Amino acid sequence: MEGDKAASGGGGLVLLNCFVSPFGNRVRIALKRKGLPYEEQPQNLADKSPLLLSSNPVHAKVPVLLVGGKSVCESLVILEFIDDAFSGEGEPLLPAAPCARSHARFWASYVDTKLPECAARVWRSPKGAAAVVEEGKKDLVAVLKTLEAELGAKPYFAGDALGYVDVALVPFAPWFLTYEKFGGFSVAAECPALAAWAARCARENECVAQSLPEPEHVFQFVCGMRKMFGLD
Amino acid sequence: MEGDKAASGGGGLVLLNCFVSPFGNRVRIALKRKGLPYEEQPQNLADKSPLLLSSNPVHAKVPVLLVGGKSVCESLVILEFIDDAFSGEGEPLLPAAPCARSHARFWASYVDTKLPECAARVWRSPKGAAAVVEEGKKDLVAVLKTLEAELGAKPYFAGDALGYVDVALVPFAPWFLTYEKFGGFSVAAECPALAAWAARCARENECVAQSLPEPEHVFQFVCGMRKMFGLD
């Protein structure tokens, strides 16, 4: 969706984000990986700014990337935009071969359609809804195991270096602690290769390390949000 | 409704589809629009074939496009694949400019995340769940109105000719009758410009006219499915 609101002037890139958002943090990683200068404007999702509402009127969600006077919304659409618009600057996130591109898009779409929905049942259910949480945990672990099987023995989903699926998935890693605390399980015990991959992404890629929040801060944020919504 | 007969060689295109699937029919339209020869293998979704299960093990859903020995899954991913892999043959579905590409991807993603979920509450709710159907209808009409507003005064979402969003959305048009019968409303009355757009897509584009089922056949199919699932 392209709004008509100007960002902070010129052709500069402005990212509307919230520091815990896995979706927004995908964009952070992609921008840093390309070395593109940008300004981040943190958004309060409990009291949405006029800029957020006007630049993403359909969903009123982060992330939004403001590009000159236009807005690009939806995190995977923004990743593709960065590849399309800045193809001259550094390696693209998506591979060049059509089949390989499809493969990457398929798995990023898998993450979006499966992971957040299962995860939300784990961390966003009202206190006492133990059966819902248990079912959510079971489904979430199945999703993580499917992703781990797709990773296989490769260091990254894309092969030897960070790529599109890695960038789509790794911003969920700081949420693992929250999933574990509410779901009563261990990602590292269930999916050791996936846990090792997440650590590798941050250890070997500054763009990842610089973009992700501390797991404990995510947990504190979630606890605060649960209180606000009367879930505890 | 069958697709053109395949080029039988190793690089032949085979589409696994079901004639009512809006997702599978997107791929039909895109293949016919490019003039690409392909074979269609109709799938019985009540008794999934070994080929469907092996070529889309993660979702076990149509559409699947088999390309030589490989499978490409998820309808929007397949549309992008067709643009990427056959860029030499005819106009691409997506525009060239990065912002315009993002805009098209945003709206196709909007269709996927919003429309089927609301629509399913209208046509797949058990008999007697009137409140669920009513709420689904309200949400579905809101989604269709949002799409109509995005269409605006343009003949197509893409402007003057059929493009990515048109191909993503128009296979839902043969379902409108079903939505109307179960939801008790009229798409043409609620969204006259959208109804006119759907008719225009079929009237002016053979690739659309040849790809879509009769609305009455969709309705009969849905009635049969509801019986099978004990919803009536």
Residues of B in contact with A99 (CB under 8 A): 67, 70, 72, 81, 85
- Per the prediction, chain A carries an average pLDDT of 94
**What Rg value do the Cα atoms of chain A yield, rounded?**
18
Phi, psi of B194 (to 5 degrees): -70, -40
Residues of B in contact with A85 (CB under 8 A): 98-99
Question: What is the SS3 assignment for B156?
Answer: strand
Q: What is the predicted ipTM?
A: 0.94
What are the tokens at B17? 């589809």
Question: What is the SS3 assignment for A137?
Answer: helix
pLDDT at residue number A90: 84
| Residue A171, preceding peptide bond in cis (omega within 30° of 0) | no
C-alpha–C-alpha distance, residues B172 and B181, integer Å: 15
Q: Identify which of A58, A106, A146 has the shortest CB distance to residue B77.
A: A106
Amino acid symbol at B192? P
Contact check, Cβ <8 Å, A84/B98:
yes
Contact check, Cβ <8 Å, B72/A102:
yes
Torsion region of B152: left, alpha or beta (phi above 0 gives left; psi -120 to 50 gives alpha): left
Task: For residue A150, give the chain B residue with the closest CA.
Answer: B58
Q: What is chain B's pLDDT, residue by residue, as a tens digit (232 residues)?
A: 233 333 333 469 999 999 999 999 999 999 999 999 999 999 998 899 999 999 999 999 999 999 998 999 999 999 999 999 999 888 899 999 999 999 999 999 999 999 999 999 999 999 999 999 999 999 999 999 999 999 999 999 999 999 999 999 999 999 999 999 999 999 999 999 999 999 999 999 999 999 999 999 999 999 999 999 999 9
Contact in structure between B158 and B104 (CB atoms under 8 Å): yes
Residues of B in contact with A105 (CB under 8 A): 74, 77, 80
DSSP-assigned beta bridge partners for residue B67: B13, B70
Q: Give how far A77 is from chain B: nearest CA, Å.
A: 6
Please report where in the chains the tokens 């499809």 appear, as a residue: A102
pLDDT at residue number B90: 84
Going A139 to A141 to A142 to A144, the CA torsion angle's sign is positive
Amino acid symbol at B155? P
Going B93 to B94 to B95 to B96, the CA torsion angle's sign is negative
Going B151 to B157 to B162 to B164, the CA torsion angle's sign is negative
Contact check, Cβ <8 Å, A80/B101:
yes
Question: What is the SS3 assignment for B66?
Answer: strand
What are the tokens at B193? 């410009």
pLDDT at residue number A5: 38
Kindly report, residue by residue over A69-85, the tens digit of the pLDDT: 899 999 999 999 999 99
Q: Select the more confidently predicted residue: B9 or A221.
A: A221
Total beta-carbon pairs less than 8 A apart between chain A and chain B:
65
The DSSP secondary structure of B108-148, one letter per residue, reads HHHHHHHHHHHHHHHHSSPTT-HHHHHHHHHHHHHHHHHHH
What residue ranges define each of the domains in chain B, with the CATH number in brackets?
13-85 (3.40.30.10), 98-228 (1.20.1050.10)
Element (H, E) at B40: strand B38-42
DSSP 8-state symbol, A156: B
Phi, psi of B209 (to 5 degrees): -55, -40
